[in-house]
Every structure is written in structure tokens, then in C-alpha cells.
Amino acid sequence: MLMSTSRFKRAATLLTLAASLALAAPIVEARPGSSGGMGSRGSKTYTAPSATPTAPGAAAPIQRTQTQPGPAMGNPGMNPAAAQRPRFGGGFMAGLLGAGLLGALLGSGFLGGLGGIASFIGLLLQVGLLVLIVTFAVRWFRRRQAGPAPAAYARDSAGSGMNPGGMNPGGMNPGGMNPGGLNAGGMSPRGPGMGAAPVAVGKVAIGPGDFESFELALNDVQEAYGREDVARLRTLATPEMAGYFEEELRANEQRGVVNRISGVKLNQGDLSEAWSEGQTEYATVAMRYAITDVTVDRRTNAVVETGEPEAVELWTFVRQRGGRWLVSAIQQGR
């Protein structure tokens, strides 16, 4: 009797513990931009930011962006379409060579009727002749496709003194909230699939006032997102990023929940990259900050989800030279 009572109490305790775990709010990140990398980093959108002491691991790639990859993005100097295009004669020649060698081994040769050594020598002569014919055909097709170079493009190339076919990135200096942190870039395309002249990537000096703006933007964006203040978010971020924030808020509304954010405090931050593209300036900053991130039911105010108490992210800011910094991309640190 005592054994059964003890087993009953133990089972009841386990059921109670399981029920409490089931009812506990799951840990899910719901802060702005936590659903995945989003936004634009100009010509560096498809390039991982430089590591910093705050975010030493590789940043999550940008998954949602309105920036289309150009020929010089991702793999410098290589056209993705050209890389995937099969080369003329490759598979054809391999098939002929395999068939001929098989025939020679079986004693029939490439044309049939020849055997032994004579068959093998005939095979080599025929393969050599085919190689010459295919090589001539390939060169002829390439000359026809290439055509004369556009005059404007030739002038731009001569004037720049740089390789117009891809990027020519310079060194990056991942500082630690250092006003002297600079990023020297190279070349980037002005637009995807366009024959326009490339835009020079230059240096941008980031000072204490800029870092204050970044920290202030971190707090303002989180506060406006927690209040679901779309109008305020549009003044803090680019139209693209404001659109992503609005999509997340609309998804919360459809789920019947609201994301309450408070207690945002920057614990550590440093500069990953800073560069300019024409009159547009960019800065990517790694930030580790404390945050109280709770998702509650709109009707009952019951806690549905909770987020981690600390986050590590890389925020990219953009401005026109002399203007105000706006959030243009958010990536999760690793």
C-alpha cells in the first residue's frame, strides 16, 4: 500500500512538472529584425561584414533585400551566368573520346574496320582533328559574341585605372568603437545588369558623434517597434527597412499578439566597416545589448513568448553625405 502511494505521488509530481513546462512561455526572438537578416548594405549586401570583438563570428547573411546582385557582387570579376554556362564541346568531346577508346579496346576502332595498333593510331589522329575543328569553332563564336567594346565603357575604364569587370576591394579595419576606423573599398556596379560606369567606393571616418547616433537609433527603433509606431519607424529607417518592420508588426497582429520591448541598453559596440559609394555613406556596427523582449496576447495580456535577455547584431546605417543616419540593414551575430 505504501509502495503504491509513493508511486502515485511520484507520478503526480512528474505530471505537474510536465504541465508547468508545457505552459511555460517558449523562448522565441521577436524583436525587430530577429526573423532573419534583412535590408541593404549597398554593394556589400552579399558580402559578410568584417568580424569585430563584439561579433567575432560570421554574421547571418541578408535573406530579404531589394538589392539585386550584380556581376561584381559575391564573386569578384565573375559573371554567375557565365560560370554556370556549359562550355561548347566539353561533353561532346568527352563522349567521342570515350566511345573511341572503348572501340579501340574492343578491336573495332573509331571508324570500324581497323584493329590493334593501327586502330589506336587512327583514333588519335581523328581526335586531334576534332580538337582542331572544335577549337576553331569556339574561337569564331566568341569573336562574334564579343563584338567591339562600347566607346563610353572603354573611356571609363581608361579613366579609372581599375578593373571594370569586378570589385577591387581594399583593406578593412574592424575597429572597436574607434573614430579612426576606416574602410577602403574598390569598385562596385551602379546597377545590376547595366553597362553603366562603376561607382568608386571610398573611405568614411566615423567619430564619437556617429557612435552616439547609432546607440540612439538602437533605442529609438526598439521603442517604436514595441509601441507599433510605424510612422516613427519610417523616420528612423530606410523605406525598405520600415517596410520589413511593418510586415513583422502586421504578422503579429494577425496572430493576435503584440511584442513588448523594454530595458534596451547597449553593453558593447564597435565598428565593423565604413565606406562610401558616391555621395552615399555606409557604416556597419556590431552591437551587444540587453533587452526585455516579451510577446503577449492582445486580449488577455498573457505571456506567449519571451526572448533572450541579450542580443548580438550588426546594424548597417546609411546617409547621404552630411545627412542623418538611417537603419538600412540588420543581421544577427554569431
pLDDT of residue 69: 86
pLDDT of residue 29: 55
Judge contact between 15 and 138, C-beta under 8 A.
no
**Residue stretches of the chain with pLDDT short of 50:** 2-3, 14-25, 72, 74-106, 108-111, 113-114, 146-196
pLDDT of residue 12: 52
Is 310 strand, coil or helix? strand
Distances in Å between the Cα of 169 and the Cα atoms of 47, 72, 76, 267 are: 11, 11, 9, 31
Tell me the C-alpha distance between 78 and 297, whole Å. Answer: 50
Tell me the C-alpha distance between 253 and 228, whole Å. Answer: 10
Is 313 strand, coil or helix? strand
pLDDT of residue 195: 43
pLDDT of residue 171: 35
pTM assigned to the model: 0.58
- Helix axis angle, 90-106 to 116-146, nearest 10°: 170
pLDDT of residue 311: 95
pLDDT of residue 99: 46
| CA nearest to 328, candidates 17, 65, 92 | 65
CB neighbours of 74 closer than 8 A, spacing ≥ 6?
46, 47, 80
HSE-up of residue 193 (Cα within 13 Å, Cβ side): 3
Distances in Å between the Cα of 124 and the Cα atoms of 96, 104, 111 are: 11, 10, 12
Distances in Å between the Cα of 191 and the Cα atoms of 148, 163, 182, 194, 269 are: 22, 17, 25, 6, 32
pLDDT of residue 334: 75
